A and B are shown apart, each in its own frame.
Chain A
Amino acid sequence: MNENIWILMSADAIAIATTLILAALGALFTERSGVLNLGIEGILLTSAISSFLAADASGSVWLGLIVGSLIGALLASIHAVLSVVFRANQIVAGLALVIFGTGLANFLGKPAEGKTVTTVINPLSFGPLSDIPVIGPIVFGQDIITYFAIAVAIVASRYLFSTRPGLELRATGDDPATVDAQGLSVARIRIRYTMIGGALVGLGGSWLMLAQSAGWHQAATTNGLGWIALALVVFAGWRPMRIIFGAVLFGFTLQLPFTLQAEQITFIPSAFLEMLPYLATLIALIALSRPGNRNLLGAPRALGTPFVRDER
């Protein structure tokens, strides 16, 4: 057995986890404010193709990442306005966003079909550190956005649980009436964090494009990562640090097929390996949903319900 392949697999699992971490953190911020945005998959796809087009036209990956994030925030703002201002059914609005985003991404991606990204994000080099066996490629062989994603998770954890605005955010998702009574605008907080969440998802989609896919493959570009990210938030109990752990775990299930193929281990049908990430997510989701577990896990209590102040 070739050890190098397994080391590379671990490195790749952490790499692919980047999109999951960013997308799940985006969903987490949104849900912590009490808004359920199921449109993550659509945002991922649209930001991915936008970053491709922007990077391709300008020759700059950074511009690609920025455009992708902005598009993410823009799409999320549609959801925010529908959910918060118009008090629409958030589940249906999120699904509409997936369908709209998929169509939009495929429309925009028409000229990109068959082309590859010319400017990509390269792994950072830490000089001798990157050459350390095993740890080198896994810990010091990633690109800047991967480290950034982990940093965001750490900062988000501090922000949520140890700062005033973080407390306000959590309170908005749990008990909006109290936040309102404090003189804060529930609507403004929800719209703000839905858009911030969208920008994070957008960054995740852009990274996936510019560091991983190197080409536009329509809906297969994201292939359900957005839905896995949504399940990951439940899995992590709406806590940022646990998202890193969960994302790496799912990263492994996503990488396993490629590694086994390279190792020429073929007794497991490839179709089954392809199903593995979704199957693992499904099993985790069911295992976590014992009765009464919902509060234990820490789901925001007002998740998915519009806030209407009792005016009379």
Chain B
Amino acid sequence: MMHIPFRVVFEQRGETPRRLSLLVPLASVFAALFFGALFLLATGHSPIDTYSNMFQDGFASFNGITDTLALSTVLICTGISAAFAFQMNLYNIGGEGQLYLGLIGGAWAGIALGDHLPTLMMVPLVLLCGALAGAAWIFVPAFVRSRLGTSEIVSTLLLTYIGASLIKHVIYTPGSFFRNPNTSFPQGRLVADSASLDSFGSSRLYPTFFVALIIAGALYWVVKRTEFGYRINVISDSPRAAHYAGINARRTTMWVMLISGALSGLAGAMLIVGPYGKIEPSIITLGYGYAGIVVAALARNNLGVIIVSGILFSGLRVGGNNLQVTTDTPIHIGVMLQGAILLFALGGEAFRRYHIHVVRVHDATVKKVAA
């Protein structure tokens, strides 16, 4: 066997230096962009054109900024949905499916109840119904996870595919409640006027953006300052300590997962009162729920930082989506970069947690003896 004259030593850090907490995520983003640039070069696209177009369309024009903030409304919600569960080591990766159900729940309220109530009551009602539908969609995974220990990872994900079929079903079935009865082409039925909000001026940004910010802030407060948040922290740090402290882990698991599902459902309902006004079947190809996982992981489940990573990622998506118009680069580079940034961030995480250094094998042996 080949003899390697050096080895990499991982030394656990007692405390992470503050500068690394900021430096590592930034470096991961740049490393991923660099990797993306090499990939673009290799596939015959200009990285400079691609990136400058993405930046221009995502962050550096009025439409770009407002579109980015509009999309971030959804991504912040799905992001906190993922993070809220992840922080307790509950991997709800079915936010995508819960978002579909939020669309259905919200549209139901908007169509069925819309003509009887004023906007001031209707919009919160639509959001509430969407959140409830999202929570309902995660109920079975949450129940079997807390009672039987069934992996929530696979169960929530499988329900996403079932949710996608449901969306197709309610739109493509003739005579469906959610289908527009006046067109032969299958599309969603519009909700009542009282159930939809106006966007700001000429932009496509809706007031729901501020609702998302308020909810992120409120949950941050819940986690940091309330007894419920304290229970979550104890369980995630040490399930055994939580048990001895008399914390009911089952009930907390159940609640955390239901809240997580409700937040993804809320994201769907925000699309109903905001830009869509109906069930848009193309939602099943957009992956806003999956993007929430990336947003949460990049923010290391910190509900405050999610606002930043959510805006960053929607900028990437908005910029990426316009690429097809402005260059010949496929729009999918946006999603690919999301994945790459997360992969690099995960690698970078090691530099935050460990002091990594390369030592000669000879030195390492000496050190070990000395210790």
- Pairing of A with B: yes
Interface residues in chain A, defined as those with a beta carbon under 8 Å from any beta carbon in chain B:
38, 42, 78, 81-82, 85-89, 91-93, 95-104, 106-108, 110, 218-219, 223-224, 227-228, 230-231, 234, 269, 271-272, 274-275, 278-279, 281-282, 285-286, 289-291, 294, 308, 311-312
Report whether A104 and B336 are in contact in the complex, using a CB–CB cutoff of 8 Å. yes
Report whether B333 and A289 are in contact in the complex, using a CB–CB cutoff of 8 Å. no
For chain A, what secondary structure do more than half of its interface residues adopt (helix, strand, loop), or is it mixed? helix
Whole-angstrom distance between the Cβ of B156 and the nearest chain A Cβ: 10
Which of chain A's residues have a CB closer than 8 A to the CB of B293? 92, 95, 99
Q: Point out the residue from B148, B151, B297 that lies within 8 Å of A234, measured CB to CB.
A: B151
CA distance A272 to B290 in the complex (A): 24
Given A227-B154, A234-B151, A279-B158, 6 further pairs, Cβ under 8 A: A86-B346, A91-B91, A103-B335, A227-B157, A274-B165, A308-B10
Report whether B339 and A97 are in contact in the complex, using a CB–CB cutoff of 8 Å. yes
Report whether A285 and B336 are in contact in the complex, using a CB–CB cutoff of 8 Å. no
Report whether A279 and B162 are in contact in the complex, using a CB–CB cutoff of 8 Å. yes
Contacts A92-B297, A281-B158, A282-B158; is A271 near B166 (CB within 8 Å)? yes
Contacts A100-B336, A311-B368; is A285 near B151 (CB within 8 Å)? yes
CA distance A206 to B43 in the complex (A): 21
Q: Point out the residue from B91, B149, B158 that lies within 8 Å of A294, measured CB to CB.
A: B149
Nearest opposing residue in chain B for A87, CB measure: B350
Report whether B335 and A96 are in contact in the complex, using a CB–CB cutoff of 8 Å. no
Q: Point out the residue from A101, A218, A282 that lies within 8 Å of B339, measured CB to CB.
A: A101
Q: Is B347 an interface residue (CB 8 A)?
A: yes
Q: Is B30 an interface residue (CB 8 A)?
A: no
Q: Can you list 5 A-B contacts (CB < 8 A)?
A: A86-B349, A93-B346, A98-B339, A99-B342, A278-B162
Nearest opposing residue in chain B for A100, CB measure: B339
Which of chain A's residues have a CB closer than 8 A to the CB of B290? 95, 98-99
CA distance A244 to B223 in the complex (A): 46
CA distance A244 to B366 in the complex (A): 52
Per-residue CB proximity of B331-350 to A under 8 Å, as 1/0?
A: 01111111110110011011
Q: Is B144 an interface residue (CB 8 A)?
A: yes
Report whether A88 and B346 are in contact in the complex, using a CB–CB cutoff of 8 Å. yes
* Max count, chain A CB within 10 A of own CB: residue among B43, B140, B342: B342
Nearest opposing residue in chain B for A90, CB measure: B346
Q: Is B93 an interface residue (CB 8 A)?
A: yes
Q: Is B184 an interface residue (CB 8 A)?
A: no
CA distance A230 to B155 in the complex (A): 11
Q: Point out the residue from B91, B158, B166, B334 that lies within 8 Å of A103, measured CB to CB.
A: B334
Q: Is B285 an interface residue (CB 8 A)?
A: yes
Contacts A86-B346, A100-B342; is A106 near B165 (CB within 8 Å)? no
CA distance A308 to B173 in the complex (A): 55
Report whether A275 and B155 are in contact in the complex, using a CB–CB cutoff of 8 Å. no
Nearest opposing residue in chain B for A78, CB measure: B343
Whole-angstrom distance between the Cβ of A16 and the nearest chain B Cβ: 16
CA distance A289 to B155 in the complex (A): 12
Q: Is B330 an interface residue (CB 8 A)?
A: yes
Contact-residue size bin, chain B (C-beta under 8 Å from the other chain): 35 or more
Q: Which of B66-87 contact A (CB under 8 A)?
A: 86
Q: Is B326 an interface residue (CB 8 A)?
A: no
Report whether A219 and B285 are in contact in the complex, using a CB–CB cutoff of 8 Å. yes
Which of chain B's residues have a CB closer than 8 A to the CB of A228? 158
Interface residues in chain B, defined as those with a beta carbon under 8 Å from any beta carbon in chain A:
8, 10, 43, 86, 91, 93, 140, 144, 148-151, 153-155, 157-159, 161-162, 165-166, 168-169, 173, 285, 287, 290-291, 293-294, 297, 330, 332-340, 342-343, 346-347, 349-350, 353-354, 368, 371
* Max count, chain B CB within 10 A of own CB: residue among A218, A286, A312: A286
For chain B, what secondary structure do more than half of its interface residues adopt (helix, strand, loop), or is it mixed? helix
Whole-angstrom distance between the Cβ of B325 and the nearest chain A Cβ: 15
Which of chain A's residues have a CB closer than 8 A to the CB of B336? 100, 103-104, 106-107
Report whether B173 and A100 are in contact in the complex, using a CB–CB cutoff of 8 Å. no
Which of chain A's residues have a CB closer than 8 A to the CB of B165? 271-272, 274-275
Report whether B155 and A103 are in contact in the complex, using a CB–CB cutoff of 8 Å. no
Which of chain B's residues have a CB closer than 8 A to the CB of A308? 10
Contacts A234-B154, A275-B165; is A103 near B339 (CB within 8 Å)? yes
Whole-angstrom distance between the Cβ of A305 and the nearest chain B Cβ: 12
Report whether A285 and B155 are in contact in the complex, using a CB–CB cutoff of 8 Å. yes
Which of chain A's residues have a CB closer than 8 A to the CB of B334? 103
Which of chain A's residues have a CB closer than 8 A to the CB of B149? 289, 291, 294
Whole-angstrom distance between the Cβ of A289 and the nearest chain B Cβ: 4
Report whether B350 and A86 are in contact in the complex, using a CB–CB cutoff of 8 Å. yes
* Max count, chain A CB within 10 A of own CB: residue among B161, B166, B342: B161
Which of chain A's residues have a CB closer than 8 A to the CB of B297? 92, 95-96
Contacts A82-B343, A82-B346, A103-B338; is A312 near B148 (CB within 8 Å)? no
Report whether B144 and A286 are in contact in the complex, using a CB–CB cutoff of 8 Å. yes
* Max count, chain B CB within 10 A of own CB: residue among A107, A278, A285: A107
Which of chain B's residues have a CB closer than 8 A to the CB of A104? 332, 336, 339
* Max count, chain B CB within 10 A of own CB: residue among A42, A104, A219: A104
Contacts A102-B335, A279-B162; is A291 near B342 (CB within 8 Å)? no
Contacts A110-B332, A291-B149; is A96 near B294 (CB within 8 Å)? yes
CA distance A278 to B333 in the complex (A): 29
Which of chain A's residues have a CB closer than 8 A to the CB of B148? 286, 289-291
CA distance A95 to B159 in the complex (A): 16
Report whether A100 and B153 are in contact in the complex, using a CB–CB cutoff of 8 Å. no
Contacts A99-B342, A219-B285, A223-B161; is A82 near B335 (CB within 8 Å)? no
Give the 10 A-B residue pairs with the shortest CB-CB distance, closest first: A100-B339, A103-B336, A103-B335, A271-B169, A106-B332, A99-B339, A96-B342, A86-B350, A289-B150, A88-B346
Report whether B349 and A88 are in contact in the complex, using a CB–CB cutoff of 8 Å. yes
